[in-house]
């Protein structure tokens, strides 16, 4: 499982202008069963996505379109997690 941590690089006003498209992308990935959970960080400095995909190349391929569209406003960090329970 991967945790994708998103950190905003611009104002919330700019982030909000991308929000509808981002939610549409998330819903598409939920329907494809690539993502299990997501949400905003508090304070609102970014967000977190949980993906059950265990192959980083596959995950990067799925995230490619999103990263191309918003990489100028959001930084992406990836963490592989192996859960025992």
- The answer to whether residue 41 is domain-embedded is yes
Give the CATH number, domain containing residue 33.
Answer: 3.30.70
pLDDT digits (tens, 9 = 90+) for 12-64: 999 999 889 889 999 999 999 999 999 999 999 999 999 989 898 999 888 88
Domain that holds residue 42: 2-80
Report d(CA 7, CA 74) in Å as an integer.
Answer: 5
pLDDT (0 to 100) of residue 68: 65
pLDDT (0 to 100) of residue 36: 96
- The answer to whether residue 44 is domain-embedded is yes
The total of other beta-carbon atoms located within 10 Å of residue 83's CB is: 5
What is the number of structural domains in the chain? 1
pLDDT (0 to 100) of residue 3: 94
Question: Per the confidence metrics, is the pTM higher than 0.95?
Answer: no
The secondary structure of residue 55, as a DSSP letter, is -
Report d(CA 43, CA 57) in Å as an integer.
Answer: 30
- The answer to whether residue 85 is domain-embedded is no
């Amino acid at each position: 499982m991967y945790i994708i941590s998103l950190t905003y690089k611009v104002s919330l006003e700019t982030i909000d202008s991308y929000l509808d498209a981002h939610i549409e992308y998330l819903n598409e990935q939920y329907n494809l069963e690539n993502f299990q959970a997501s949400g905003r960080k508090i304070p609102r400095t970014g967000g977190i996505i949980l993906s059950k995909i265990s192959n980083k190349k596959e995950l990067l391929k799925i995230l490619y379109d999103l990263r191309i569209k918003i990489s100028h406003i959001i930084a992406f960090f990836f963490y592989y997690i192996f859960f025992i329970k």
